[in-house]
Structure 1
Amino acid sequence: MSVSFIQFFENSIAIAQILLIFSWYQSNSKINDLQLQFSVSFSSNFASAYINFKWIHNSNNDNFFKIRCICILQKLFGAQNYRSWRRSMEIALSTKRKLGFVTGSVIRPVNDPNQTEFWDTCNNMVISWIMSSVSESIVKSIMFVDTASAIWKQLEKMFALSNGSRKYKLHEDTYSCDQNGISVSENYTKMKCIWEEIDSMSELPRVTNVTPEITNFLNALKKQKEEEHLFQFLNGLDEQFSALRSQMLLMSPLPGVEVSCSMLQQEESQREMFTYVQNQDMTALYSKSATSDDKCTFCGHKWHSPDKCWEKIGYPPWHYKGRLNAKRSHSSQEVCEL
């Protein structure tokens, strides 16, 4: 059922209820009170059923029997990618309105059997999503855990590193991340992932009263951070970009990381194009020189190979030596007949 149809259905019910309440209010006040209570109860129940976070919508499953998994680009295989996997899972679960099942904010109801059944169904669905987004070895360790929040806490205890160790490793990677022959865009993407993870681990206090001095300070801090990213990015480039790197460092003001990446990509494209043209010219020149220097081992002449030598395979009929050989062959046949 689409959202637009549900909204239309809710609006129709609301209008019908208002007309019914207004007509009955004039005739009987008691009937009006009962109808008003029933109307409020029905509307609240229908709305709560629609917006309830435990309700399984069509977006959660393809059909009644096949549950569609959430989209996670990379499965969890250890502490190396736990933070990125966790962030992807939080985004995916929030789009399904099921993040509370892993954080523990949605508590299992015990008084209402229907609500309990809904909770168990959604909890099992979230568990299936988690199991499909981790490696096979990790699946075996969480197979018999009852709730999604317990699985979430268990994975955090197993793979979550302390912020100090992780920050040290990330800052070390910023200055040891070299290009090593990969493209400029791939190297920039690799550095960008490290910078974003460092920013996510660095929590700064919120500024409520923004003054011009604070604005200038934040702009200077942002500029200093961009320059630091630029130096880290240029530090890991291959030596073939050393000349362009020197030119960018002489610019005033310094270009941003995105601008530098664009300039390097243009230089990389030009190098690839010139290398291709140069290789084509060298191949043609080598082929020509190889053909001109080679000699036939049968006759000693150039411009042909031994398997195409006419001295070996015979001259064609239009060649004068071919006609001469034909006459000699004809004369020898006449002598043999005599």
Structure 2
Amino acid sequence: MDDIDFHHPLFLHPSDTSGTVLVSHRLTGVENDTVWSRSLRIALLAKNKLEFIDGVCLRSVYPESLRAQWDRCNTFVLSWIFNTVSPDLSAGLVFASDAAAVWKDLKDHFSKVDSSRIFFLHRSIAHLTQVDASVSSYFTQLKLLWDEYTALVSFSDCACEVAQQNSNHLLQQRLFQFLMGLNETYAAVRSQILLMQPLPSVNRAYSMIVQEEAQRSFSSVLSPVSDPVAFSSTASSSSKSLLALVIFVN
């Protein structure tokens, strides 16, 4: 068999197994196709197997001596796809024999960028608030919504001034969205951020809020709240005990 090094699309690492779950997201339908497909594409790119689902790495282009190895790689990619699809969906894929065909079939069924999904993302972003979550957890949820929106909606990559202004406006919107969803306990630091000129990036604002959260947590540990009533009662009892002891001695 022809030499296959680790740069070759047909190379399989000894640690590769058909039971490997490449991504934590399981495809359940239209609602999470964007996140799932992007995550899986990144994972397959890392394993140099992205060409199998894009239909670039074809069995017919390889000599007979490498076709058995192509079959193995194709089967591995099929298994990795099955492992990240919900049981209801994977049941209809088990008889498939080509990874590119399966990928195309899934995209035809679930990759539907329509106005309803974009509307859902807008509404989710607008309504998302911190509530009982930590700042990091709240920010992570918000960033997931932003990332999916960015993946669904095409933005101009032009380097012109107008495109740059639009990009800056989008980043400013995200800063405001993040600040609006914070609990009112962060109102003071939020006001400080809004007074900064120029406005900081959303990542910088997040860092400032997290520092404030950590400072409060640290202060609450070092400064336990004293109960003035209990303190007064304890002091009164101590005084009475001391007075009784003096009377007894005399």
1:108-156 deviation line (CA, Å, top 9, x unaligned): 3299543332222211111111122223333322222222122212322
1:246 paired to 2:191: yes
In the superposition, relative to structure 1, how do residues 282 and 78 fare at CA in structure 2: closer, same or farther (>3 Å)?
A: farther
1:275 alignment partner in structure 2? 220
Supply the distance in 2 between the matched residues of 1:62 and 1:287 (Cα, whole angstroms).
64
1:114 paired to 2:58: no
Supply the distance in 2 between the matched residues of 1:249 and 1:117 (Cα, whole angstroms).
62
Supply the distance in 2 between the matched residues of 1:114 and 1:102 (Cα, whole angstroms).
22
1:184 shift after superposition = 1.4
1:92 shift after superposition = 1.3
Alignment gaps of 5+ in structure 2: 242-250
Choose from 63, 69, 74 the match for 1:123: 74
The TM-score, its normalising length taken from structure 1, stands at: 0.61
Choose from 25, 41, 45 the match for 1:74: 25
In the superposition, relative to structure 1, how do residues 141 and 290 fare at CA in structure 2: closer, same or farther (>3 Å)?
A: farther
1:89 shift after superposition = 0.9
1:168 paired to 2:113: no
Supply the distance in 2 between the matched residues of 1:125 and 1:198 (Cα, whole angstroms).
31
8 A contact 1:62–1:68 mirrored in 2: no
How does 1:15-94 map onto structure 2 within 5 Å?
46=2, 49-50=4-5, 52-53=8-9, 55-57=10-12, 59=13, 61-62=14-15, 66-67=17-18, 69=20, 71-94=22-45
Supply the distance in 2 between the matched residues of 1:234 and 1:191 (Cα, whole angstroms).
11
Q: Which has the higher contact order (CA 8 A, sep 6+)?
A: 2
Task: Specify the code of the residue in structure 1 equivalent to 2:113.
Answer: S
In the superposition, relative to structure 1, how do residues 194 and 103 fare at CA in structure 2: closer, same or farther (>3 Å)?
A: same
Structure showing greater Rg: 1
8 A contact 2:18–2:80 mirrored in 1: no
2:168 alignment partner in structure 1? 223
1:252 shift after superposition = 2.3
Supply the distance in 2 between the matched residues of 1:107 and 1:140 (Cα, whole angstroms).
25
Task: Specify the code of the residue in structure 1 equivalent to 2:96.
Answer: V
Task: Specify the code of the residue in structure 2 equivalent to 1:189.
Answer: T
In the superposition, relative to structure 1, how do residues 151 and 287 fare at CA in structure 2: closer, same or farther (>3 Å)?
A: farther
1:277 shift after superposition = 4.4
1:263 alignment partner in structure 2? 208
Alignment gaps of 5+ in structure 1: 1-44, 295-300, 303-338
1:302-325 deviation line (CA, Å, top 9, x unaligned): 8xxxxxxxxxxxxxxxxxxxxxxx
1:289 shift after superposition = 6.4
* Superposition RMSD in Å: 3.2
2:143 alignment partner in structure 1? 192
8 A contact 2:26–2:86 mirrored in 1: yes
- Taking only the aligned residue pairs, the percentage that are identical comes to 31
Supply the distance in 2 between the matched residues of 1:290 and 1:145 (Cα, whole angstroms).
78
Choose from 87, 95, 108 the match for 1:157: 108
8 A contact 2:118–2:149 mirrored in 1: yes
8 A contact 1:110–1:116 mirrored in 2: no
In the superposition, relative to structure 1, how do residues 67 and 160 fare at CA in structure 2: closer, same or farther (>3 Å)?
A: closer
1:22-64 deviation line (CA, Å, top 9, x unaligned): xxxxxxxxxxxxxxxxxxxxxxx956x44542x233x2x328x
1:78 shift after superposition = 3.2
Supply the distance in 1 between the matched residues of 2:67 and 2:167 (Cα, whole angstroms).
50
Supply the distance in 2 between the matched residues of 1:52 and 1:227 (Cα, whole angstroms).
44
8 A contact 1:163–1:201 mirrored in 2: no
What secondary structure is seen at the aligned counterpart in 2 of 1:155?
helix
What secondary structure is seen at the aligned counterpart in 1 of 2:53?
helix
Supply the distance in 2 between the matched residues of 1:290 and 1:79 (Cα, whole angstroms).
64
1:201 paired to 2:145: no
108-117 or 183-192: bigger deviation: 108-117
In the superposition, relative to structure 1, how do residues 154 and 111 fare at CA in structure 2: closer, same or farther (>3 Å)?
A: closer
